[in-house]
Amino acid sequence: MVRVKRLVDTFIRLVETASVSGRESAIRDLLQQWFQQRGLTLVEDEAGQILGGDSGNLLLQIPGTMEGPTLLFAAHMDTVEPGIGVKAVVDEDGFIRSKGNTILGSDDKAAIAVLLEVFDILKEKELSHPPLEFLFTVSEEQGLKGAKAFDFRQLKSKIAYVLDAGDKPGAIIIQSPCQNEMEYTALGRAAHAGINPEDGLNAIQLVANALAAMPCGRIDDETTCNFGGIEGGTARNIVAEFCRVKGEARSLRREKLDLLSTELKDIFIAEVEKRGGKAEVAVRFLYPEISLDENEEVVQLAARAARNIGLKPHLLSTGGGSDASIINGQGILCANLGVGMRAVHTCNEHISIEDLVNDARWVLAIIEEAARIGE
């Protein structure tokens, strides 16, 4: 049923259309044209204006051919860098890769290609299906910003699937963490580094001492934290007056996230202040945790569909966030599905044609299983 060459050609066309976060207009135009050729119009929201990008989120609402619960499928249009000038190649083992100096962009254009293929199959085969909604978001890679800016009141769906997990088709993500973004700032005193360094207070050193006392990495099997960026000072011959560190904390449990964030904040402030500096810590909640019961219909529907096409469903927990986190937070039960993309966010990113085909078969099977419920 899946036309493999068409699916691969669509995927390659998508990944070779640059759409790094904040600059998704080219992929937006491609999708709008694609659906216009099929007599449908994608509705673009104002997320681009809100976020300072050149494209908004895109929503497609497809009338059902039968009664049944509306299903939402979501994918993000943006990629990380280096994502400009992608050239995709198919190797002898059936994997699609970039030529090696850019990412591939299977995260998340594999999902977009799959949804386009599924749409064509539904129409060509005149398959019965309930009402469907496709949501293509922007700036997912920058902290799920596009999904956060989307007005979910437009949706009719109560069950949703995001196609954005690196595991192979059959994987159903039922747990993912909540996350805090944290920014630590230490303020010292500037002075000439050679003439009167004793009059200064080095903020970089203040931060170094504080970080040495703070937990970092895996805290337990549900909780992690990290320091991912640092900046400070103005010149090599000036005692640094300020230093700033960007970090994060994640946990599958909100109470653990809150406790860890408080601990990190308290240690940083105490370590900086006891050495005479001033400390500031900003904490921003990014997205909520997902904790789906395995008996929820959104999980069981995907599991039954996987078995129907010979895939083995397996329920997983992940340490990463996705648009599913935001969708769940809006009261729509949403599972993130394994797509099979590998080595994402690197120039070695790749995906097998077999997984791409199974992704399309699985989405079709989910729709078909939902149609049985509606009969």
Mean pLDDT of the chain: 97
**Where does 178-287 sit in CATH, by number?**
3.30.70.360
**Overall average pLDDT of the 191-204 stretch:** 98
Band of pLDDT at residue 374, cut at 50, 70 and 90: low
Is 54 annotated to bind ligand? no
**Overall average pLDDT of the 107-129 stretch:** 97
Q: Give the active site residues.
A: 140
Of 91, 93, 90, 126, the C-alpha closest to 15 is 90
Residue-wise burial string across 307-333, b where 16 or more C-beta atoms lie within 10 A, e elsewhere: ebeebebeeeebbebbbbbbbbbeebb
In the DSSP assignment, the letter for residue 93 is T
Distance CA(51)–CA(111), nearest Å, equals: 23
pLDDT tens digits, one per residue of 57-68? 999 999 999 988
pLDDT tens digits, one per residue of 222-273? 999 999 999 999 999 999 999 999 999 999 999 999 999 999 999 999 999 9
**Where does 4-176+289-374 sit in CATH, by number?**
3.40.630.10
The pTM of the full predicted model, rounded to 2 decimals, is 0.92
* CB contact at 8 A, 2 and 117: yes
Is 141 annotated to bind ligand? yes
Is 164 annotated to bind ligand? yes
**Overall average pLDDT of the 135-161 stretch:** 97
Domain ranges of the chain: 4-176+289-374, 178-287
Residue 10, C-beta contacts closer than 8 angstroms, at least 6 positions apart: 113, 116, 117
